[in-house]
Structure 1
Amino acid sequence: MLNDQCLQPTTVNVRIRTNRAFLRYCYQEGWIEALFTKNLSQLKSLKMKYRHLHQQK
């Protein structure tokens, strides 16, 4: 999914969190019998390090 749609890891993680919350709600309401969101984990995103560009004298 990430590679096919060119989605950023942050976007995928937001969608995962949203689906986990919805499925947890469905479980609490009795609409689904098993809570299987324990196996859904978020993606690890790479943190970019920024360097300051200084003019050299």
Structure 2
Amino acid sequence: MMRKGLTRRKQRHVPVEFSLTITEMFEEYMLVKKGEGLAKRTIQEHYNNFGYFKTYIGKEHTAEEMTTELFVGWITYMIEEMNYKPGTVNIRVRTMRAFLRYCYEDKAWIYEPIHKSFKPIRAPTLNYVFK
């Protein structure tokens, strides 16, 4: 019997024989997004941003290989190597965080809440002078 106010935590266990690739997980995620009625342009942007990430990692990954370090490395790469503006990086980060949230919270395909470990980067604030 549990004390009042305590909740049971979901068990995060992905059977080895059921481990999906990141592409398989993404395709199922996109079926859900299409079912939500997202605009075609939004759907295409999700695919584009996922493609940028796949290009960065260079090979297919399984759920077990998806780590916080992998995604933080991608963000660092976009900032330092590609010199992308914060707005560009943040659009891609938000898209991938939503995907990772789905993988962790809705499907339990991944073991750790990677989406909570990285956030959009700080963008410089613009100070406008109105005359």
TM-score by length of 2: 0.36
Match of 1:10, SS state, is helix
What letter is aligned with 1:14?
A: I
**Alignment partner, residue 123 of structure 2:** 45
> 1:10 and 1:46 mapped to 2: Cα distance?
10
> 1:33 and 1:39 mapped to 2: Cα distance?
13
> 1:6 and 1:37 mapped to 2: Cα distance?
23
Deviations 1:1-49 (A, max 9, x none): 2121120001111111111100011111121122122120211111233
Q: Which runs of 5+ in 2 are unaligned?
A: 1-76
Matches within 5 A, 1:11-30: 11-27=88-104, 28-30=106-108
> 1:14 and 1:51 mapped to 2: Cα distance?
27
Moved over 4 A (4+): none
Q: Which runs of 5+ in 1 are unaligned?
A: 53-57
Larger helix fraction of residues: 2
TM-score by length of 1: 0.72
